[in-house]
Amino acid sequence: MALQEDFERQGNWLFRYRGVLPIAILAIGVAVFALTVNSGRLAGALLPHWHLYEYSCLAVSLVGLVVRILTVGYTPAGTSGRNTKEQVAECLNKTGIYSVVRHPLYLGNFLMWLGIALLTCNAWFVAVFVVIYWIYYERIMYAEEQFLRRKFGHDYLEWASRTPALLPRPKGFARPAYPFSWKKIVKKEKNGCFALLLIFCLFDSVMAASADIRPNGLLIILAIVSCLFYVSVKYLKKHSRLLDEMGR
């Protein structure tokens, strides 16, 4: 099999199972973090400022969440979804954040997980995470772009030629073609927000238990609020049409 077809096949397979990578990163990251804390290497440097460091990492992750929100909120139905079985694109997004970067959702995911990786306080883990993330998603991006190239032809090639893949280039920004949809954000991004805060609470719990410091009360409150919001949205989606929106 030629490399072009092989890369696309690998990318499509990874696309279907792209939810597995975060679980693996989280499991290894928590183990690395526990070992780092128990080794005592953080006692003199980071430990006195642990909560402040947590907020710094959370800020990185929240930037990623904002990127996802700015992506999903301006897109129509049938694009930028959480589909896993196959590639889906009813139209080619070229405006808004898609006018400055071709894969904004993967950029947002990277920043969200970078904040979590930084929580481990282990430079080697962070470096390995960056490399693995790039290799993993490079294949997925390749498969997606092959799909878009076949479906949209010259229109895709013209857009891709002026738009970088993962590092945004503000020059040439085009206003979004659709209005922002908070309803779509509430439906689509509630999972990511809830999971993010739970993961931060998990790392904070490991630190509190291992280093005998008080848990971060603000993180716990945010996680509880996020949980209540998540449950409420799930209920509304199941028992009402309040969050339904034509074409979004």
- Output b/e per residue, 146-174; b: 16+ Cβ within 10 A: bbbeeebeeebeebbeebeeeebeeeeee
| CA dihedral (144, 178, 190, 51) positive or negative | positive
pLDDT in tens, 29-71: 999 999 988 887 776 677 788 999 999 999 999 999 999 999 9
For 10: left if phi > 0, alpha if psi spans -120 to 50, otherwise beta; the answer is alpha
How does pLDDT run across 11-30, given as a tens digit for each residue?
Answer: 777 777 777 778 888 999 99
The C-alpha atoms of residue 53 and residue 203 are separated, in whole angstroms, by 12
pLDDT at residue 46, rounded to an integer: 78
The rounded distance, in Å, linking the Cα atoms of 229 and 224 is 9
pTM given for the model? 0.90
Q: Which amino acid is located at 82 in the chain? A: R
Domain count, the chain: 1
Q: In this model, does residue 90 exceed pLDDT 70?
A: yes
Q: The tokens of 31 are what?
A: 């183990």
25 in a structural domain: yes
Structural domain that includes position 39: 3-181
**Phi, psi at 174, each rounded to 5°:** -115, 135
Q: In terms of pLDDT, which residue wins out, 77 or 244?
A: 244
What average pLDDT is seen over the chain? 88
Is the distance from CB of 74 to CB of 180 less than 8 angstroms? yes
Q: Is 104 among the domain residues?
A: yes
| Residue recorded with tokens 């909560």 | 51
Mean pLDDT of all residues in 137-149: 89
Q: In the block, which residue shows the tokens 């397979």? A: 13
**Distance from CA of residue 187 to its chain's centroid?**
16
What is the torsional sign of CA 128, 32, 107, 142?
positive
Query: What pLDDT band is residue 195 in, cutting at 50, 70 and 90?
Result: very high
- For the chain, how many residues are written? 248
What pLDDT is recorded for position 246? 81
Residue 221 belongs to a domain = no
Residue 232 belongs to a domain? no
Rg (CA), the chain: 20
Structure confidence at residue 74 (pLDDT): 93
Q: Is residue 65 part of a domain?
A: yes
Q: What is the dihedral of CA 5, 8, 13, 18, to 10 degrees?
A: 160
Please tell me the predicted confidence (pLDDT) of residue 48.
81
Task: Give yes or no for residue 102 having a pLDDT over 70.
Answer: yes
Residue 99 has pLDDT above 90, yes or no: yes
- For residue 208, being part of any structural domain is answered with no
